[in-house]
Structure 1
């Protein structure tokens, strides 16, 4: 059942639909708003050179058939591509349910991000970080950024947000705190109404798995870690 779901979702997200202004979203078996199971066993142990903290989108499942732990649309392809290009990199799945309970979920997720950064920074003096958020997960990263100690800013090398609802609020309100915002990249698909004020098609909010969105983000993260 899970394999069938991931195949259906993969086909939906990768496939290009022609002749339609707003392609119809087929039934993938995902009920938007349902919580995603939190799996503490997926938390990496010890230290690494680089760690990518990923906050998934609402109800975004993992690509289980491919060993994913971070979300099939954004987190799984980002982490798998970065780790392939950069030895010593790994991912961390932010521990939050990504459900329709956005307020409590954002609080839980942002606190997890801050706690993880503090703990790893203390335990692993040479480890550096990237923050990746998709959809609701981007809101988690915005909330976390307000609580991250400024002493940790130099160790956060990049922030990449996909389908970020804050982007609709304009360049001022969508900014991260000074010291982090300069390292941030926004990825917003044409037509995505979540991040684009002229967007009218929810389908495009689900297309970030495509190489034109993933590949530049991966390069951005890898280059930031190296510099």
Structure 2
């Protein structure tokens, strides 16, 4: 169960994907919402950890150019980082998770690059689901819902590696058939049915949440 109490044990700063409406799904998109709900149940059952969700209310509307997409993503990263900073000051006992899907995963990736050293110990999880800047060579945990991680980079190319101070907290999810995060050839157009629907399925969300729980356990949550 999620709590309305802002200063929960774990505060999830969530970023929705492109074209997902801020007025639905707690403002974080279907994929993030269903995954975090599953995660909250697991945490409550194993250690009574309370979970609160804070949305990143950035502009995820469609843009005609890659430059517009990147501009919105950069603004989202700044908003996420600002929210992390303000909540960390307000909630001295809380730990934090950054979780995003698709463009929201890129927002999380962008924010993670700029987390100040004074806050890295407060961040217990950086989760990127279907990141268009997925970097298969990054030395973080990677999960493809199969025995081996996907080998392609994101549609935007391989993004910068997650900083060493946050590497222990970071996990990237990408399933085969999702060219947004596993674009093995020339960049394509549009979103595949796999990208649109795979991660929101209850069975997928349960697996994703279990992997997130492993990272949180390893980081003291």
User: Is the structural similarity TM-score above 0.5?
Assistant: yes
Distance in 2 between residues matched to 1:188 and 1:46, nearest whole Å: 30
1:81 to 38, 58, 61: 38
The verdict on how the C-alpha distance between 1:143 and 1:62 changes in structure 2, with shifts beyond 3 A counting, is: closer
2:181 to 187, 190, 195: 195
How many corresponding residue pairs? Answer: 180
1:138 shift after superposition: 1.4
2:59 alignment counterpart = 97
2:137 alignment counterpart = 171
Question: RMSD over aligned Cα, in angstroms?
Answer: 2.4
* Structure 2 unmatched ranges of 5 or more: 45-49, 63-67, 139-157
The TM-score with structure 1 as length reference comes to: 0.70
CA contact (8 A) 1:62 1:76 kept: no
1:126 alignment counterpart = 93
Q: List 4+ stretches of structure 1 deviating above 6 A.
A: none
The verdict on how the C-alpha distance between 1:62 and 1:219 changes in structure 2, with shifts beyond 3 A counting, is: farther
1:218 to 206, 209, 213: 209
Distance in 1 between residues matched to 2:14 and 2:97, nearest whole Å: 8
In the alignment, does 2:71 pair up with 1:112?
Answer: no
Alpha-carbon displacement from aligned partner over 1:126-169 (angstroms, at most 9, x marks no partner) = 100111111111111121112210121111111111111112x5
* Structure 1 unmatched ranges of 5 or more: 1-43
CA contact (8 A) 2:7 2:52 kept: no
The verdict on how the C-alpha distance between 1:225 and 1:186 changes in structure 2, with shifts beyond 3 A counting, is: closer
CA contact (8 A) 2:106 2:128 kept: no
The TM-score with structure 2 as length reference comes to: 0.72
1:93 shift after superposition: 0.8
Distance in 1 between residues matched to 2:120 and 2:202, nearest whole Å: 29
CA contact (8 A) 2:178 2:194 kept: yes
